[in-house]
Structure 1
Amino acid sequence: MKILSILAATILMFLGQACNQNKSRDNQKSENMNDTAKAEHYTFELSDKVTRKKVTFKNRYGIMLTGDLYLPKGQGNEPLAAIAISGPFGAVKEQSSGLYANQMAQRGFAALAFDPSYTGESGGEPRAVASPDINTEDFSAAVDFLGIQKNIDRKKIGIIGICGFAGFALNATAIDKRVKAVATTSMYDMTRVMSKGYNDAVTLEQRTKTLEQLGEQRWKDAEAGTFAAGAILNPEKLKGDEPQFVKDYYDYYRTPRGYHERSLNSTGAWNATNALSFMNMPILTYIKEISPRPMLLIAGEKAHSRYFSEDVYKLAMEPKELMIIPNAVHTDLYDKVDVIPFSKLERFFKEYLK
């Protein structure tokens, strides 16, 4: 059945504990934190109307985060409205989030694209770990940074989350009342997909087996004194019988279109036990508390992830808007500037960050 092939792909791509590789996390760190030349590789061209500066800031857990601050040239003396941007899950700031920041800076905003904790150029040990709590905090730390800049109006800060970081963006907005507006594209709720699979197809028996496997992997890690990597997220070559959305991910992350050396989705894998903290931590429980601040949810008509945005829209309170992009798939909203509705994002944030 189709649903089972999708479920299998989910387990392969996001849990990965069944593939017990012998590569240590220390080795992966050295591979993912490459030299300066690689650090300067961006998957898009910087606009001649924008400046970009690397910045660092700490989150509430003391982890040093690294980001790129994009500013419009000739901004004048008026403090700017600002947007914190991150995602997709397993990506780096030189990919989609940077592209979004570049576009929004052209439209007059200060825009901060940042690497989440434990990934990219940001700090945190061990490497290649995600956390519903810490990754939510990463957005609030970005708001901290933006709000103390002299050229930014701290009363005019919003968030854009892409793919898996769209869920964290919504969670951060729910608890951080300093965020005045939130927009998401190709949204995933990572806690839902990891614990229940796509379309909530995982049975209790399957969930129990996964948790048992994760427990066994913890014994192996404890005995080895290191953290094993899980399954490679996007292999160098496809077999050809993968679900279409897996092929779409490959087309972005494994080709010159979106490849980056530090991106886990391009070159690596999450920690084999990475799914543990997601299995019983639903991050969208308090989605209604975003109101009365506005929410914009953008999804592709043909995206396998579309239902996440539709379900959030049903749960959320006004003001809210769901925008479905005709014929678009999930990854079209990563980098296709003729598909991503940047004019809509501009109008949304100019209306609500004032």
Structure 2
Amino acid sequence: MFKKEALKLTQEWDKTFDKSDLVDHEKVTFVNHFGITLAADLYTPKSKEDKMKALVVCGPFGAVKEQASGLYAQTMAERGFVTMAFDPSFTGESGGNARDVYSLDINTEDFQAAIDFISQLNFVDKEKIGIIGICGWGCIALNAAANDPRIKATAAITMYDMPRVGAWGYFDEGSADARYETKKTIAALRTKEYLSDTLEKAGGCLEYPAPDDVPDFVKQYSAYYKTKRGYHPRSVNSNAGWVLQSTTGWMNNAILTHPEDLRNAVLIVHGEKAHSRYMGEDTFKKLQGDNKELLIVENATHTDLYDGGEHHYIPFDKINAFFNQYLVDEKK
């Protein structure tokens, strides 16, 4: 067993959503198999019972547990699940250095380590554990589920295929030549920064309101991450952004290399008007089995599924029904 790092955890309620009176909340930590200590918020229904169904939540990519993942976790706890929202390695209150970097391998392990932890709780049924991944963590959730049969059901919400965007850009409008030029730039930056005390950041979301000449989805990100609606001081996207050296991390990776290994249930949820919808739909086509479902939420954009937006777009009733359907005793 790895030794835990002593993390400095904020004890006051500093979420972007109101605290529920229907659930109990506590800060917890656990260690992944790379030896990184992760911080999480554990939510349990006040009417706690023995051997309850459990959900682990993470995302969006560049967010922290005080944002969308915490909202999903708390809401599903209100519906009777033990839930946990965690900060990925190198971000938020979790450990790991350098800060604000990412890795498909390590982040996939983050989900699996969260399963390790929550399955040991004596009030959780370790045979009834699911995960929710939001935005870029939707693809990471599917990757984890393909690796780990303990994950009985997975919901990928407004998902990004991060390696696809990293390699080909938005809407696949990039090229191999453009990708190579980026690699040359990052290689030169690595040489420059090797002896440096700081690592250059890519920059977070544009300040709100974003300029008129940027795409609508960029404006939507600013309206979430840079306003009271979703801003958080520990969020990568709300502040200086990811370390630029991480950029090449997606370029020679792929999710679901063996989609046939993902045998347990999957629900992919996308907004009708989400710029990312094509990624979820194309990923859904790769999935096999009759326990996979794609839900398109009418009129919703990508970020509407972070917090519901003005019209409460998050289909919590459907998500609840999905996990109740598939987190059951296999013998029944």
- Give the TM-score band, short-chain normalised: over 0.9
1:348 maps to which residue?
322
Q: Looking at both structures, which has the greater relative contact order when contacts are Cα pairs under 8 Å and sequence separation is at least 6?
A: 1
The structure whose residues are more often helix, as a share, is 1
2:80 maps to which residue?
108
- Check the 8 A contact 2:32/2:110 in 1, yes or no: yes
CA distance in 1, matches of 2:183, 2:323: 41
TM-score, length basis structure 2: 0.93
- SS of the aligned residue for 1:230 comes to coil
Q: Does 1:48 align with 2:21?
A: yes
User: 1:34, CA displacement in angstroms?
Assistant: 9.1
User: 1:234, CA displacement in angstroms?
Assistant: 3.2
Compared with structure 1, are the counterparts of its residues 59 and 234 closer, same or farther at alpha carbon in structure 2 (3 Å cutoff)?
Answer: farther
CA distance in 2, matches of 1:57, 1:268: 27
Alignment of 1:233-244 (within 5 A): 233-235=205-207, 238-244=210-216
User: 1:233, CA displacement in angstroms?
Assistant: 3.5
2:4 maps to which residue?
none
CA distance in 2, matches of 1:308, 1:73: 38
- SS of the aligned residue for 2:139 comes to helix
- SS of the aligned residue for 1:101 comes to helix
After superposition, give the CA deviation of every residue in 1:294-313 in whole Å (9 maximum; x if it has no partner): 11000000000001110011
- Check the 8 A contact 2:203/2:239 in 1, yes or no: no
- SS of the aligned residue for 1:182 comes to strand
Q: Which amino acid aligns with 1:249?
A: Y
- Check the 8 A contact 2:32/2:109 in 1, yes or no: yes
Alignment RMSD: 1.6
CA distance in 2, matches of 1:124, 1:237: 33
- Structure 2 segments unaligned to the other structure (5+ residues): 1-6
CA distance in 1, matches of 2:82, 2:252: 36
CA distance in 1, matches of 2:9, 2:33: 28
CA distance in 1, matches of 2:260, 2:134: 20
CA distance in 1, matches of 2:197, 2:16: 36
1:306 maps to which residue?
277
User: 1:223, CA displacement in angstroms?
Assistant: 4.1
Q: Which amino acid aligns with 2:81?
A: F
Q: Share of identical aligned residues, percent?
A: 48
TM-score, length basis structure 1: 0.87
User: 1:222, CA displacement in angstroms?
Assistant: 1.4
CA distance in 2, matches of 1:114, 1:340: 20
After superposition, give the CA deviation of every residue in 1:173-200 in whole Å (9 maximum; x if it has no partner): 0011111010111000111101111122
- Check the 8 A contact 1:174/1:286 in 2, yes or no: yes
Q: Does 1:175 align with 2:147?
A: yes
- SS of the aligned residue for 2:219 comes to helix
CA distance in 1, matches of 2:174, 2:152: 36
Q: Which amino acid aligns with 2:90?
A: Y
2:231 maps to which residue?
259
After superposition, give the CA deviation of every residue in 1:195-215 in whole Å (9 maximum; x if it has no partner): 111122111111111111111
- Check the 8 A contact 1:234/1:267 in 2, yes or no: no
CA distance in 2, matches of 1:110, 1:215: 44
Alignment of 1:269-308 (within 5 A): 269-291=241-263, 293-308=264-279
Q: Does 1:83 align with 2:42?
A: no
- Check the 8 A contact 1:68/1:93 in 2, yes or no: yes
Equivalences, count:
319
Name which of 181, 200, 207 aligns with 1:209: 181
Compared with structure 1, are the counterparts of its residues 268 and 40 closer, same or farther at alpha carbon in structure 2 (3 Å cutoff)?
Answer: farther
- SS of the aligned residue for 1:273 comes to helix
CA distance in 2, matches of 1:61, 1:204: 32
Name which of 189, 193, 199 aligns with 2:171: 199
